[in-house]
A and B are shown apart, each in its own frame.
Chain A
Amino acid sequence: MAASPVGMKRFYAILGAVAVVGIGLLGYQLSKPATVSIPANVIIQPSDTAGFRGYLKGADSAPVEITEYADYQCPFCQTFATLQMPTIDERLIQTGRLRWRYRDFPLQQHQYARVAAHSAACADEQGKFWLQHERIYEGQSEWAASRDGADIFRRDAKEVGLDLAKYDACMSAGRYAGRIQASYDEGVRAGVSSTPTLLVGGRLYQGRFDSDAITRLVDSLAQRAASTP
């Protein structure tokens, strides 16, 4: 019944070889050099947020506001941003029916999520957040697979017309690291655990992530707001 000692020796040799290869591959993955990064373990100062509650798009008078918590490296967020948001923007935001609030929720497993969020924050300093935001999402498949996403964000920054000297200073200082972490922490407190997550009136949205479903929701909320005395 038992294997011969020679057979067992051969088996353990094969097992050992597999273990060495496996540990070697995991070790290689762990030791790969990190690129430019924005730290997550920052101490958030009151000045980091200074009343900042996300990037806004739409009229102040819009009857409905939706807050989106998203991660630039999340594939669902990318699909939503590039396929659904243009219709939502045209149909609801530009017509004054909806105000959109975008908030960062960089997931720890996404290598470039914080750098991407920081790049957009630096673009915001120069009044071009939404342009950079769209560029980052559109190019996700390229930078997510690259060796250095920060280089690609810098190229985007140049193409959207940012002052690169100011952009570089902002990025190297990690000026908005605290603000990004504060946004993440607020998301966690609001019950966000995955991305994208939408909050409507402070409640987690459980419906479908498409422009038609969002339109129906906004219409019903606007109607309710109008009929409330």
Chain B
Amino acid sequence: MIYRMGAALVSLLGLFLSAYLYLYKIGRIGALACGNGACETVQTSEWSRFAGVEVALIGVVGYGLLFTVALLALQPALAGSRWPATMLTGLAAGGVLFTVYLTYVELFVLRAICRWCVGSAAIILSIFMLALLAQRRAPRQPAG
């Protein structure tokens, strides 16, 4: 249960982080607290959108989903079920793959590293690891 709790908590952090970046993208807050211009370089580039959608908004939706599934997985009725942990792992794996793509763009296309993106990468990796551990702890479905 501790891993599901951890996943919920870290997903909430990711949700706030991506909400902050999205508020910046839609012009609701001023300059990003970043320390250098790299965050702006990344956030204002053409790669800050994916398939026409703001990457930060994808983050808000993604972390929101992870948070919801992690909370669901904590409900006593589902504590013995394996599927919430499997679903959490699947969602987090998608997030990790998307993060790998974004990190590649930062390193090799933009040549700029946004600290907030590094934070998000650490968060999604943590969720993935916690989800894997939760899955290992979850009971096997009875065969046949």
Q: Which residues of chain A have C-beta atoms less than 8 A from B37's C-beta? A: 75, 78, 141, 144
Q: For the complex formed, measure the closest distance between the CB of B85 and the CB atoms of chain A, giving whole angstroms.
A: 12
CB of B141 within 8 Å of the partner chain: no
Closest to B20 in A: A26
- Tally of A-B Cβ pairs under 8 angstroms: 82
Q: Chain A residues near B76: list those with CB within 8 A.
A: 2
B139 surroundings in chain A (CB, below 8 A): 1
Q: Which residues of A contact B (CB under 8 A)?
A: 1-3, 7-8, 11, 14-15, 18-19, 22, 25-26, 29-30, 32, 71, 73-76, 78, 107-111, 141, 144-145, 193-195
A22 proximity list for chain B (CB < 8 A):
12-13, 15-16
A71 contact set on B, CB distance < 8 A: 44
* Closest beta carbon of chain A to B74's beta carbon, Å: 7
Q: A2-B1, A15-B12 are in contact. Are A74 and B23 (CB under 8 A)?
A: no
Query: Which residues of chain B from 4 to 60 have a CB within 8 Å of any chain A CB?
Result: 5, 8-9, 12-13, 15-16, 19-20, 23-31, 37, 40-41, 43-46
Q: Tell me if A1 and B1 are in contact (CB < 8 A).
A: yes
Q: How many residues of B contact A (CB 8 A)?
A: 32
A1 and B79 form a contact (CB under 8 A): yes
Main secondary structure, interface of B, reads helix
B80 contacts chain A at the CB level, 8 A cutoff:
yes
Chain B residues whose C-beta falls within 8 Å of the C-beta of A1 in the assembled complex: 1, 79-80, 139
Contact A74 B13 (CB under 8 A): no
Q: How far is the CB of A145 from chain B (nearest CB, A)?
A: 6
B111 to chain A, nearest CB (A): 11
A26 to B24, CA, bound (A): 11
* In the bound complex, CA of A14 to CA of B5 (Å): 10
- What's the least CB distance linking A202 to chain B, in Å? 20
Question: Are B30 and A2 neighbours in the complex by a CB distance under 8 Å?
Answer: no
| A and B contact pairs by CB, cutoff 8 A, 14 listed | A1-B80, A3-B79, A8-B74, A11-B74, A18-B12, A22-B16, A29-B29, A32-B29, A76-B44, A107-B44, A108-B26, A108-B27, A109-B26, A144-B31
List of A residues within 8 angstroms of B43 by Cβ: 109
Instruction: Evaluate whether A7 and B1 lie within 8 angstroms (CB atoms) in the complex, with A1-B139, A18-B9, A193-B46 already known.
Output: yes
Q: Enumerate B62-101 residues with CB–CB distance to A below 8 Å.
A: 74, 76, 79-80
Residue in chain A with minimal CB distance to B33: A29
Q: Give Cα A30 to B5, complex, Å.
A: 30
In the bound complex, CA of A108 to CA of B26 (Å): 7
Alpha-carbon separation in the docked complex, A194 to B109 (Å): 15
- A-B contacts besides A26-B16, A73-B40, 5 pairs, CB < 8 Å: A11-B74, A29-B23, A107-B44, A109-B24, A145-B31
